[in-house]
Amino acid sequence: MALLFSGIARRAGTMGTKANLRGGVLLGGSRAGEQVRRLNLHEYQSKNLMEKFNVRMQRGAEASTPEEARKVADGIKQASPDAELILKAQVHAGGRGKGHFKENGLKGGVQILNESSEVENLTQKMLGNTLVTKQTGDGGQPCNMVLVNEGLTIDSEKYFAILMDRAHNGPVMVGSSQGGMDIEEVAETNPDAIVSVAVDIVDGVQPEQTLLMAKALGFKDENIEDAQEQMANLYKLMIETDATQVEINPFAEAHYVNGESQVFCVDAKLGFDDNAAYRQKDIYSQRDTSMEDERDVKADEVGVQYIGLDGNIGCMVNGAGLAMATMDIIKLNGGEPANFCDLGGGVNEKQVADAFEIVNSDANVKALLINIFGGIVRCDTVATGIVNAYNSVGLKIPLVVRLEGTNADKAKEIIDAAAIPGLVSAVDLDDAAAKAVAAIN
């Protein structure tokens, strides 16, 4: 059944990537402002994963040395002497083609080349250096691997995605004949160009469904069967890897030099269900923490949820809803939250101490607001843990504590009796936010 676009593509997130010879694969989504931590894999890792499910990607391979890169390029040239060579630095950021390397000034983390010797020389300049793009900030990200691909000529660009959609209680295929551009823009300006097909997760995707989608996307008659096969393979990948999103943009008709037209997944974005990490150990073992903020890595190690923001007041809470309310009340009082730090329901002294260390490592944090609701865990126990953790970590910034729930009054007495300079209690959330903002003004 074909359905008009009903917000599914918006919920999926989009890539907005213009397809060209630089096409590649990205995994994972933006971290900023998200409450759910998602796995990010390098392009070469995602390419290898997709090829396991017979998803057609550009020919090529990764390399960790200039010599390895030369060997891959030589192999491509031997098979197709007239082929262009695409060299891509492997970092967790978009905008690589317009980026630059800090150490040597090399411009472009994506290079289109003709000779294997050029691949080797430029790989030497990329590996071990730091690529700066609009998405990395001034710090950039280290390049420890490159990907060498054979160039493609793209004849037509489609959009295709499979999403786990709450409204349909299962997977939904979403497609558009207008690929290679921002799908949200397409949905706004031409919603009739978006087609969606709900899939029964028990029965799986059916041939008549992929046929409907292939025709709706405007594939040439000679490529429809190929497009169906690629869709079915992508669905299998999604189910067997516990992916929540498989987004291909462009899902293209393309060909190699002197080759025939085929269906390729040129750019892709995959998201995985972190709750299934225990089932997908091979995938999650590929996580590259050198690409991530050290605070995020530490938070994962100690079992807290942490997402850095741009403000200067740290927020430590137990519960996502409480975190959002805390950040809102800080802004209402004229402050700016520096992070989202959720300690979870079973708050204990070690967690508080670990969270203190994470927050304290951010030089932008000038004050810390703790907002804990004591239900199963008593507030007086939490208060004792806060005082001990404050002393053990050697926190130097002002700390405002608001505890509500079981034994809240006793907890306030413990905080006040500690008589630690900079450590103050609050009677309610508004009072806590006001005191935290005042502490840095």
- Residue 325 scores a pLDDT above 70: yes
Closest CA to 248 of 362, 314, 159: 159
| pLDDT above 60: residue 8 | no
pLDDT at 31 over 60: no
What is the percentage of the chain residues whose pLDDT exceeds 70?
87
CB 23 within 8 A of CB 47: no
Q: Which residues lie closer than 8 Å to 275 by C-beta, 6 or more apart?
A: none
Sign of CA dihedral 256, 261, 262, 263: positive
Out of 247, 253, 256, 390, pick the active-site residue. Answer: 247
| Position 365 pLDDT exceeds 60 | yes
Report yes or no: 344 and 397 within 8 Å, Cβ to Cβ: no
What's the confidence (pLDDT) of residue 84?
Answer: 96
Domains of the chain (ranges plus CATH)? 11-152 (3.30.1490.20), 156-281 (3.30.470.20), 294-439 (3.40.50.261)
Residue 212: pLDDT over 80 = yes
Q: Which of 254, 234, 268, 185 is nearest to 15 (CA)?
A: 268
The one catalytic residue among 43, 62, 157, 159 = 159
Angle (CA) 101 115 22, round 5°: 55
Kindly report, residue by residue over 97-148, the tens digit of the pLDDT: 899 999 999 999 999 999 999 999 999 999 999 999 988 888 899 999 999 9
Furthest-apart CA atoms within the chain: distance in Å: 81
Residue 159 designated active-site:
yes
Quickly state the pLDDT bin for 26 (edges 50, 70, 90): very low
- Crossing angle (nearest 10°) for helices 379-393 and 408-418: 20
Query: Is the pLDDT reported for residue 271 higher than 50?
Result: yes
Q: What is the pLDDT of residues 217-266, one digit of tens each?
A: 999 999 999 999 999 999 999 999 999 989 898 999 999 998 999 999 98
At 75, the pLDDT band (50, 70, 90 cuts) reads very high
Q: Is pLDDT at 3 greater than 70 in this prediction?
A: no
Structural tokens at position 89: 């630095």
Rg of the chain on CA atoms, in Å: 25
Position 214 confidence tier, pLDDT thresholds 50, 70, 90: very high
Is 103 a residue of the active site? no
Q: Enter the tokens of residue 261.
A: 């037209």
pLDDT of 369 higher than 50: yes
In the predicted structure, residue 4 carries a pLDDT above the cut 60: no
Classify 182 as helix, strand or coil.
Answer: coil
d(CA 96, CA 17): 12
d(CA 283, CA 250): 24
Exposed (0-12), middle (13-18) or buried (19+): which is 115, by Cβ within 10 Å? exposed
What are residue 232's phi and psi, to 5 degrees? -65, -40
Q: How many CB atoms lie within 10 A of CB 330?
A: 27
pTM for the predicted model, two decimal places:
0.69
